[in-house]
């Protein structure tokens, strides 16, 4: 079954020292294909995403392939030069930094405070999966209200916890599993136990196998309708995690299990060993994940929940066509493809698939995370929305955008209101759904209390850990007034996502015409620099010269577009 264990591969993975915070669980699976000389293909071979499960070797009595190394061991990597470049670029290599010799024993606290009653409560059965990090067994309760119930137990030997990072990974995994509760597409966590030798993470037993196995059993790809049924479940659980402030960081077909062998059984997200809490405005910088599914911004060491959505896009691409969107023989080649290559939508079966399906995948695989759809938005996409009755969850991006709007000047608010008036009915659909989830009153307005109530209704302990309630402090202005739907559209629309659409120029031009009538006014360069968050080191007169009309001192079209985007990260004063 492979619960919570990564697939083993024959060649080493990208790994690094704790100082560089780099960790990959996937690598070039094609090394396990027949050894006949194969010329470099233009596209991925049949089922290039498949790697045999270690469980197959276990039950056949054969020696398993070398398992995927995790953080605890640091073998050579075919992408070593990429690690070195990233380390130099981000300053993680310090000239006087000493390393600890491998043979030096470092005292580590491996007491987690978990219950020590594992043997008294469970009868352990067969091993069902194995990875370098540990192994997974079937088991059953032998006492209590759940007596006789079968479960899966992830066993993590303490002997393999050789670094403080390894110990913290286990502690955080349990903390996240314990905090994330109540979603039908999330693996159910029972409890964590420990003894002198191992940590035991007890979860529900899913007997339907991995999503990867289902893909293979279907000849490598799904029909559009069947793919929609899978994507709805994946997007629902990902949107749930993101609302709670949790980023998974290792989404791939191997990390989704079916509860049973039934064709329509529920899908469950598993393996939160690389997951982390992330605050709404926070950017993570450690490189983790699986090579074929890693987002470009992860390789650039500045990412958040959007990285998970990229991984979902890779899964969607595989479901629909049976090949990976980015493929190479080495990890460094994979990373170059992720950063530079454009996925092919010209080769079969793409020409026979709907335009909506292609648009759906393309918007998930946008290399700019600001332009990428969120998981909640993806559930509102026409390709998904037209399939049965899909309930759209709260979108954390809405609250991030509202925060920025509330902090904006009256001039930028006027620009955003003008832009919101250009949106077509279908473009407003997601905002209508989000506004309805905030349960406006009879006057069709919302206040801070509506937002608090909506978040409380959907909150888990994970939300408290990621400090999303603290994030509401930035919306305190709504404590004293109410917001109608028209203003909500201006506050919650994403300029960057609109910019990714083919009709962006038309939106911007129409919005500028409206802004000219109702909002444009004379502005000096210094004021505009303040609006855009430019620091004193920026030569504002040279940079902003063309953004203000010389005739009347008002914003030009270029200045209007820059104002819509708000403070520029590239030009803003560094923090």
pTM of the model: 0.81
DSSP 176-223: HHHH----TTBPPEEEEEE-SSEEEEEEEPP-S-BHHHHHHHTTT---
pLDDT mean over 432-454: 94
Beta pairing class for 198-204 and 150-157: antiparallel
CA distance from start to end of the chain? 46
Q: Is 464 annotated as a binding residue?
A: no
Q: What is the pLDDT of residue 71?
A: 35
Q: What is the pLDDT of residue 55?
A: 38
Q: Which domains does the chain have, with CATH numbers?
A: 211-385 (1.10.510.10), 396-519 (1.10.238.10)
pLDDT tens-digit profile of 97-140?
A: 334 344 454 579 999 999 999 999 999 999 988 876 789 999 99
Q: What is the pLDDT of residue 22?
A: 56
Q: How far is CA 69 from CA 59, 133, 336, 359, in A?
A: 21, 7, 22, 36
Residue 73 has pLDDT above 60, yes or no: no
Beta pairing class for 189-194 and 198-204: antiparallel
Q: What is the pLDDT of residue 518?
A: 81
Of 334, 327, 47, which Cα lies nearest the Cα of 213? 47
Q: How far is CA 134 from CA 37, 56, 369, in A?
A: 34, 16, 33
Task: Using pLDDT thresholds of 50, 70 and 90, give the confidence band for residue 58.
Answer: very low
Q: What is the pLDDT of residue 470?
A: 75
Q: What is the pLDDT of residue 508?
A: 97
Residue 431 has pLDDT above 90, yes or no: yes
Q: Peptide bond preceding 213: is omega within 30 degrees of 0, i.e. cis?
A: no
DSSP 260-292: SSSTTPPEEE---TT-EE--TT--B--EEE-GG
Q: What is the pLDDT of residue 278?
A: 94
Q: How far is CA 202 from CA 149, 175, 192, in A?
A: 12, 13, 6
Q: Report the sign of the C-alpha dihedral through residues 163, 153, 4, 374, in that order.
A: negative
Q: What is the pLDDT of residue 131?
A: 73
Q: What is the pLDDT of residue 24?
A: 62
DSSP H helices in 300-385: 306-321, 331-340, 355-364, 375-378, 382-385
Question: CA 487, 489, 494, 500: dihedral to nearest 10 degrees?
Answer: -130
Helices and strands (H and E) in the chain: how many = 24, 13
Residue 39 has pLDDT above 70, yes or no: no
Q: Which of 250, 286, 308, 395 is catalytic?
A: 250
* Contact (CB, 8 A) for 343 and 358: no
pLDDT mean over 197-221: 93
The backbone region for 354, taken as left when phi is positive above 0, alpha when psi lies in -120 to 50, beta otherwise, is: beta
pLDDT mean over 144-154: 94
Q: What is the pLDDT of residue 303?
A: 97
Task: Assess whether 225 carries a catalytic annotation.
Answer: no
């Amino acid at each position: 079954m492979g619960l919570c264990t990564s697939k083993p591969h024959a060649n080493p993975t990208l790994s690094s020292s704790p100082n560089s915070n780099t960790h990959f669980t996937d690598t070039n699976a094609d090394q396990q294909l027949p050894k006949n000389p194969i010329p470099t293909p233009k596209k991925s071979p049949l089922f290039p995403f498949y790697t045999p499960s270690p469980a197959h070797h276990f039950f056949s009595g054969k020696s398993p392939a070398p398992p995927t190394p995790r953080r605890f061991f640091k073998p050579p990597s075919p992408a070593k030069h990429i690690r070195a470049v990233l380390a130099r670029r981000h300053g993680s290599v310090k000239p006087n930094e000493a390393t600890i010799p491998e043979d030096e024993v470092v005292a580590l606290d491996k007491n987690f405070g978990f219950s020590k009653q594992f043997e008294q409560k469970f009868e352990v059965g067969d091993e069902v999966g194995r990875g370098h990090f540990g192994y997974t067994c079937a088991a059953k309760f032998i006492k209590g209200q759940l007596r006789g119930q079968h479960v899966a137990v992830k066993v993590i030997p303490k002997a393999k916890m050789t670094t403080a990072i390894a110990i913290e990974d286990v502690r955080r995994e349990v903390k996240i599993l314990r905090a994330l509760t109540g979603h039908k597409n999330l693996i159910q966590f029972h409890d964590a136990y420990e003894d002198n030798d191992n940590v035991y993470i007890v979860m529900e037993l899913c007997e339907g196998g991995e999503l990867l196995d289902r893909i293979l059993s279907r000849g490598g790809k799904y029909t559009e309708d069947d793919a929609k049924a899978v994507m709805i479940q994946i997007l629902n659980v990902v949107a749930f995690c993101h609302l709670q402030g949790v980023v998974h960081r290792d989404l791939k077909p191997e990390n989704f299990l079916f509860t049973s062998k039934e064709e329509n059984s529920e899908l469950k997200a598993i393996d939160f060993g690389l997951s982390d809490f992330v605050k709404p405005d926070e950017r993570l910088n450690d490189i983790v994940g699986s090579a074929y599914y890693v987002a470009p911004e992860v390789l650039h060491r500045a990412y958040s929940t959007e990285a998970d959505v990229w991984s979902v896009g890779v899964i969607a691409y595989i479901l629909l066509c049976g090949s990976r969107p980015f493929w190479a023989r080495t990890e460094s080649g994979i990373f170059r493809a992720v950063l530079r290559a454009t996925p092919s939508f010209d080769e079969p079966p793409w020409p026979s698939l709907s335009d909506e399906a292609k648009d759906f995948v393309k918007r998930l695989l946008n290399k700019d995370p600001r332009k990428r759809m969120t998981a909640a938005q993806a559930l509102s996409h026409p390709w998904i929305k037209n399939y049965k009755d899909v309930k759209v969850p709260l979108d954390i991006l809405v609250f991030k955008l509202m925060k920025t709007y509330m902090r904006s000047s009256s001039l930028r608010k006027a620009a955003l209101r003008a832009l919101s008036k250009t949106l077509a009915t279908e473009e407003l659909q997601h905002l209508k759904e989000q506004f309805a989830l905030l349960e406006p009153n009879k006057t069709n307005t919302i206040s801070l209390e509506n937002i608090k109530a909506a978040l409380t209704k959907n909150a888990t302990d994970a939300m408290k850990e990621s400090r999303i309630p603290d994030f509401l402090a930035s919306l305190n202005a709504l404590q004293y007034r109410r917001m109608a739907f028209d203003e909500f559209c201006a506050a919650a629309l994403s300029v960057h996502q609109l910019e990714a659409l083919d009709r962006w120029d038309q939106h911007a031009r129409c919005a500028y015409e409206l802004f000219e009538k109702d909002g444009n006014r004379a502005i000096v360069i210094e004021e505009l620099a303040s609006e855009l968050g430019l620091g004193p080191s920026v030569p504002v007169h040279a940079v902003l010269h063309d953004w203000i009309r010389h005739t009347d001192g008002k914003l030009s079209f270029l200045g209007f577009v820059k104002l819509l985007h708000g403070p520029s990260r590239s030009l803003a004063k560094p923090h």
